[in-house]
Structure 1
Amino acid sequence: MNKLMMGVKRFWQEEEGTEVVEWALVGGLIVAAGAAIFTNIGTAARTNLTEVFNAL
């Protein structure tokens, strides 16, 4: 267990480790924003197609 804690401590002290965490957070935010955008586009498309279908 001591080796694990030393590894975690070394990971957090190194700049590369924190940089990886930052990029992972940025990537996660981009994916979340993309999912929200695609959900809104899908909802709008469904609404428009339903209106067209009902008009026919």
Structure 2
Amino acid sequence: MHKLMHGIERFWKEEEGTEVVEWALVGGLIVAVGGAIFAAIGGKVSTLLTALNNAIP
């Protein structure tokens, strides 16, 4: 148990460990924003592309 606590403490103090967590959060935020944008404009883009497809002979 002592080794586990020591490993957690070392991970917490290291800069690389916190940097990895920060980048994971940034990546998750980017994915969430991209998904929200896709959900918001997906139907409109589909309608626009269908109209464009129908306009081309």
Gaps (5+ residues) in structure 2?
52-57
Q: Report the TM-score when normalising by structure 2.
A: 0.70
Please name the residue that 2:10 is paired with: 10
**Identity score, percent:** 69
**Residues 10-43 of structure 1, C-alpha deviation per residue, up to 9 Å, x if partnerless?**
0010011111111111001000000101111223
How many residues of Structure 1 are paired with residues of Structure 2 in the alignment? 49
Q: Report the TM-score when normalising by structure 1.
A: 0.71
Task: State the Cα RMSD in Å.
Answer: 1.7
- Alignment partners' CA distance in 1, 2:14 and 2:38: 37
Runs of 4+ in structure 1 deviating by more than 3 angstroms, as ranges, are none
Gaps (5+ residues) in structure 1?
none
